[in-house]
Amino acid sequence: MSQPPQSGRVSSHVPDARGRFGAFGGRYVPETLTHALDELAAEYESARRDPEFQRELDELLRDYVGRPSPLYHAKRLTDFCGGAQIWLKREDVNHTGAHKINNTIGQALLTKRMGKRRVIAETGAGQHGVATATACARFALDCVVYMGEEDVRRQAPNVYNMRLMGAEVRPVTSGSRTLRDAVNEAMRDWMSSVETTHYILGSVVGPHPFPMIVRDFQSVIGVETRRQCLERLGRLPDLVVACVGGGSNSAGMFYPFVEDSGVELLGVEAGGRGAAPGEHASTLSFGKPGVLHGSLSYVMQDEDGQTCDVHSISAGLDYPGVGPEHSYWKDTGRVRYTYCRDQEALDAFDLLARQEGILPALESSHALAKAMEMARLRPADEAVVVCLSGRGDKDVAEIARVRSQSNATAKNP
């Protein structure tokens, strides 16, 4: 176990009162939003101490979301790779098919506590949009989801799902027309509607207290995984792997393991088509500290502080920033971050489908690819847990499109 070289410095008692994870985080937003963020932080504190809130949340997670999600021993995949045992944390079997619902149910309960009736959200792959639309239908809240026009195209089934549940989907046509622009547009809506509207941010990004709230609601993933490992293996896993876009499934998976220094943690970003600027979304590998969407964290920016365009085959990882706690974990050495190319993710998608009969989300396929790579290098008595953050049904059409394009290119070079 090579990790963690500097674990003495890492703490799970973050953020501080100002929303700082070490040097990262904070709150960089227009003054208009300050009061609402203060209110949200106060409401969350009171909810956290309220046993009734916790009881209602637990009940919903059990009966509505379907938790705990299984920890599945992927034996055929393990045999295929020939190394450490591969276990999948099955967030894909949650209601709505991804981990995103853990957070939206929690924040919808907060919205009700605050007496707000309208919710806005951003979405990339559409999973957070669907999870928000679902929670809003369940709690009778008005719901508007901002989604980049490019993602509306790539993730058409999710757009239809959101509309079926009564949400309004507003395509965003500015900038790169992906997740980053959807966040901008949601923030602008919130600037005008803040007195009556709650913004259900979907990842561990944005101004304090969002990175903390989303991490806490997602920590159910890591808490369950930890308990399931102790029950099934009689010990903690050797390596835990999760994909990182904004970083919500990975933050929820890693956080409960942060102080278990024997557990190695690996975050996998989108390596896209290559290492050149604009070809990937590997913020922690190639970015620098800067300010984007309300917090100080690693970000893909040029020398003037303008946000760079990024690329990933997976809409959920196609984001030029990352949650501030990941930046903190990177700089303290607690989590190692790497990246996975589009093609490697597609190959992992195919392999899991064939070997285990599971279609993983393209986002999760990034984590899976690197987990298999690591498992091959390790002895059979080690255990590698992968967060299978979502299911891949939404990606099938896009994969078919990409394949038919590359087939056409191969025939007519």
Partner 1 sequence: MPFITAADPDLDFTALALKELAARGCHLCELGIPYSDPIADGPVIQASYTRALAQKVRLADILATVGAVTPQLGMPIVTMVSYSIVYRHGIEQYVRDAKQAGVSGAIVPDLLLEEADTLADVCRREDFSLIQLVTPTTPRDRAVRIAERSSGFLYYVSVTGITGERTRLPDNLVQNVAWLRERTELPICIGFGISRPEHVRLLAPVADGLIVGSALVRRMEYAASRPRAEVLREMGELADELLSALRETPDVQPPKSGK
Which parts of this chain interact with partner 1 (CB under 8 A)? 18, 26-36, 174-175, 180, 184, 187-188, 191-192, 194-195, 288, 290-294, 296, 301, 303-307
By beta-carbon proximity to partner 1, the closer residue of 31 and 231 is 31
Q: How far apart are CA 109 and CA 128, in angstroms?
A: 16
Q: Are 74 and 368 in contact, with CB atoms under 8 Å apart?
A: no
Per the residue annotation, which of 89, 91, 100, 150 is the catalytic one? 100
Q: Please identify which of the residues 250, 282, 389, 398 carries the catalytic annotation.
A: 389
Cis preceding linkage at 157, omega within 30: no
In contact, 368 and 343? CB cutoff 8 Å: no
The three-class DSSP label of residue 90 is: strand
* Interacting residues of 199 by C-beta distance below 8 A, sequence separation 6+: 119, 120, 121, 186, 187, 189, 190
Q: How far is the CB of 246 from partner 1 (least distance, A)?
A: 15
Question: Between 184 and 365, whose beta carbon lies closer to partner 1?
Answer: 184
Judge whether 100 counts as a catalytic residue: yes
Question: In the complex, what is the shortest distance from the CB of residue 205 to partner 1, in angstroms, rounded to a whole number?
Answer: 13
Encoded tokens for 106: 């929690």
DSSP code of 281?
A: B
CB 195, min distance to partner 1, A: 7
Task: Give the number of C-alpha atoms closer than 13 A to the C-alpha of residue 173, restricted to the C-beta side.
Answer: 0
- Quote the tokens at residue 213: 């709230």
Nearer to partner 1, 164 or 191 (CB): 191
Pick the catalytic residue from 43, 69, 116, 122. 122
Q: Do residues 252 and 218 lie in contact, with contact meaning Cβ atoms separated by under 8 Å?
A: yes
- Least distance to partner 1 from the beta carbon of 239, Å? 35
Q: Which is nearer to partner 1, 187 or 359 (CB)?
A: 187
Residue with tokens 């999870």: 131
* Exposed / middle / buried, residue 396 (Cβ in 10 Å: 0-12, 13-18, 19+): middle
The rounded distance, in Å, linking the Cα atoms of 290 and 300 is 8
End-to-end CA distance of the chain: 46
Shortest spacing between CB 274 and partner 1, in angstroms: 22
**Distance, CA of 368 to CA of 383 (rounded, Å):** 14
Q: How far is the CB of 28 from partner 1 (least distance, A)?
A: 5
**Of 12 and 34, which has the nearer Cβ to partner 1?**
34
Angle at 408 between CA 403 and CA 413, to 5 degrees: 125
Please compute, for residue 276, the number of CA atoms within 13 A of its CA located in the half-sphere on the CB side: 2
Pick 304 or 381: Cβ nearer partner 1: 304
Q: Which residues are marked as active site?
A: 100, 122, 389
